[in-house]
Amino acid sequence: MLIKTVTALLALTLTAAPAPAGAAPKEIPFTAATATQRDAGSFALSWSAPGVRQVTVYAGRTQDGIDYGHPVGRGEGTSAITVSGLGAADRWWFRLVPDHGAGLTVADRDLHLASAPNFRDAGGYRTADGHWVRMGAVYRSSDLSALSEADLAKLRRLGIRTVDDLRSPAEREQAPDRVPAGATAHTYDVVGTGGPDTDPQTPEQAEQLMMDTEVHLVRAASAQAGYHSVLAGIADRRTHNVLYHCTAGKDRTGWTSAVLLTALGVPRETVYADYLASNTYRAAANEAVLSQLPEDVREIVRPILEVRAKYLDSGFAEVAKEFGGFDRYLSAGLHVDPAALRAALLV
């Protein structure tokens, strides 16, 4: 299909430390928090914690290596600050410690891999009932065929254990993954056979192709089997850290994240924001492709390179049509227990 011919052409992570054994867990007062890298060693942090008077910020090169002896910043319950002068690190983590309630650890969602620009943390969102999706456990990306040695080494140090490849055999043969040392690779051809295979001649037909593809990802037996395996692996904490990906990291991968986050209880508007973020992460790569095409072809290809809300609308509409609701899709279509996912990923 045309998708195969062109795929080659919210800055946030959040975790909370567990309560001591026998102690009742404290409520996390933060309703929002972000960390965004500006320059090397410089980060913009912002948060909102209603009812909190003061927040103290600590930093570390790993989640378990926060230096609580040296604060790097302070602010009020709702604040935006800049932290500068930090040294080199694969990933800087910032612990937000309120004057009451549980703390929260934030980091830039973007892994800043030059050879995989859509590589990012898949979790880090607040659920509708006030939990947070555990971070540093699940990642999403485009294919890994172009990973540099430096980026491969970074993924190894970050502890990637499982790589779930959602591409077709032809895609995998054309652009084989470079898998970090120590990781176990799995392949799941979620599109399989019988998917949309029409060459669009207009932008409207291109959009319809993408919406039909989203429907296929809900309906096809190959997709249901593949997504079951990916989500079952995520529910098994022994397999963390998990990375799932396709070619561009936006459609097959985007539906994976939409299903995962919805199953965890993340609000629908946040699910859409995560899905649409691929347009930002892939903006430069998409424009590079479009710039090489004849002008009359660009607007036909553009809808295939991008993600749009109407594409995800089609997936959720098909879930309602075929299964009567999302919970039934999880149980009857994917044979996944959302309680197991929540136990593995929510704090």
Catalytic residues: 246
| Residue 239: count of CB within 10 angstroms of its CB | 18
Please answer whether residues 246 and 253 qualify as being in contact, where contact means their C-beta atoms are separated by less than 8 angstroms.
Answer: yes
Distance CA 290, CA 9 (A): 9
Burial of 86 (0-12, 13-18, 19+ CB in 10 A): middle
Q: Looking at this protein, which amino acid is placed at residue 4?
A: K
| Residue 150: count of CB within 10 angstroms of its CB | 10
**SS (HEC) of 241-301:** CEEEECCCCCCHHHHHHHHHHHHCCCCHHHHHHHHHHHHHHCHHHHHHHHCCCCHHHHHHH
Two tokens at 174? 């054309």
Query: Of the candidates 83, 284, 299, 306, which has an alpha carbon nearest to the alpha carbon of residue 200?
Result: 299
Please answer whether residues 210 and 308 qualify as being in contact, where contact means their C-beta atoms are separated by less than 8 angstroms.
Answer: yes
Distance CA 250, CA 210 (A): 11
Question: Residue 316: helix, strand or coil by DSSP?
Answer: helix
Distance CA 306, CA 111 (A): 21
Note the helical H segments in the chain.
2-6, 149-157, 169-174, 203-219, 221-235, 252-263, 268-281, 283-290, 295-305, 309-323, 326-328, 338-345
CA dist 135 to 16, 85, 95, 144, 195, Å? Answer: 9, 25, 13, 21, 33
